[in-house]
Amino acid sequence: MSSTSQQPISSGTEVRIALDRAESNTWRGRGIVIDLFRFSNTVCALVESGRKDIRLFPTPDRALSARRLEKDADLFSEIDLGVPQYDNSPYTALYGSDPAKTALSVTNSGSPAASSLLLAKEVLIACFANFPAVAAYCRANPMPTLIVPACLFYNAAHVEDMICARALVDELDGKDSFPAALEEIHHSGRVLDFMAFRPETGKRDMELVLKKGWMKAVPRVKFKAGVGHVENAV
């Protein structure tokens, strides 16, 4: 959809980007988490693949406790947890794992960022791949919105999260700044860094991560006893 045909979320609706962790801890409107290179795309891919039971954990200990209870579940993480697991890879989530199984996810930044929004009325997960779907959902259901770049919870040098967050603000306002955001991410050097440390799926992951609008899922997280249960808001 072109930017000229989009309508802004609402001229009177607050949309802003969190600049520190404390903002998300007290936010009571809609929170949208962006961990661009892995978590956001992996969770979107899990939803897109048809997974019915997807759970997010704030800490490795909690994820491992769940894994001990459900030994047949798929565990997704870039953290070495000392048990059989998949990398936090959107390509693997979509094409290299069994969508009939329960999926458990714990990550360095994305799952803690989502878990910080316990007071929020609604928690969504966004990435370039589902930008149009997220924007359409938010325009149909406007409410004050805080976009949370997951790099705040791990490494501020992961600038792609903040770049994507700024582009989402524009997307919600009916503007397409994806090409400029993509150029900025490439210029940052982060894409090459990522692929260098992820030789198995890094290139295929980036082909999915840096393409706009190919996924229709809008992951929504509902927390029960501190565990995030993911459903498709659409």
Task: Please report, for the chain, the start and end positions of each structural domain, with discontinuous segments joined by +.
Answer: 15-232
Give the mean model confidence (pLDDT) for residues 158-187.
97
Within 13 Å and on the Cβ side, how many CA atoms surround 195? 12
pLDDT band at 199 (very low <50, low <70, confident <90, very high): confident
Tens of pLDDT, residue by residue over 127-154, are: 999 999 999 999 999 999 999 999 999 9
Confidence of residue 5 (pLDDT cuts 50, 70, 90): very low
Q: What's residue 9's pLDDT?
A: 59
Q: Taking a C-beta distance cutoff of 8 angstroms, is the pair 35, 161 a contact?
A: yes
pLDDT reading at 15 higher than 80:
yes
Q: If pLDDT is split at 50, 70 and 90, which confidence band does 51 have?
A: very high
Homologous superfamily, domain 15-232: ComB-like (3.90.1560.10)
Q: Which of 128, 110, 205, 212 is nearest to 164 (CA)?
A: 128
C-alpha–C-alpha distance, residues 162 and 18, integer Å: 9
The pTM (predicted TM-score) of the whole model is 0.94
pLDDT for residue 8: 59
Query: What is the rounded CA–CA span in Å between residue 162 and residue 209?
Result: 15
Whose CA is closest to 227, among 26, 53, 35?
Answer: 53
Residue 6 has pLDDT above 50, yes or no: no
Angle of the 190-197 helix axis to the 202-209 helix axis, nearest 10: 140
**pLDDT, position 52:** 96
Q: Residue 10: its pLDDT value, please? A: 54
* pLDDT tens-digit readout, 55-106: 999 999 999 999 999 999 999 999 999 999 999 999 999 999 999 999 999 9
